[in-house]
Amino acid sequence: MSEEKPFCKRVTPGFLKKNLEEYKEWVREPLYVCMKCGRVARRARDLCRPVSLESGLKPADEGGREETS
């Protein structure tokens, strides 16, 4: 059983050649962007440093502006 690595770590040039269609599904309508690599994905767990793409939400370490609703 292979260890599940973050999306960021799994996507290599070799991976893309073999799994391009899968990759397309992953990055379709992304909800999160990785602050570290700049990759996008629908699931936060797929990124090593996920930040929501929704406007108004900023990384916690960028000013510390909280938004509760």
Interacting residues with Zn ion (CB under 5 A): 8, 34, 36-37, 47-48
46 DSSP assignment? G
Q: Vertex 11, ends 6 and 12: CA angle to 5°?
A: 135
Nearer to Zn ion, 19 or 37 (CB): 37
The whole-angstrom distance between residue 65's C-alpha and the CA centroid of its chain comes to 22
Name the minimum Å distance from CB 25 to Zn ion.
18
Name the minimum Å distance from CB 45 to Zn ion.
12
Residue indicated by tokens 């690595």: 5
Name the minimum Å distance from CB 57 to Zn ion.
17
Closest to 11 (Cα-Cα) out of 29, 36, 53: 36
Nearer to Zn ion, 15 or 65 (CB): 15
Nearer to Zn ion, 26 or 47 (CB): 47
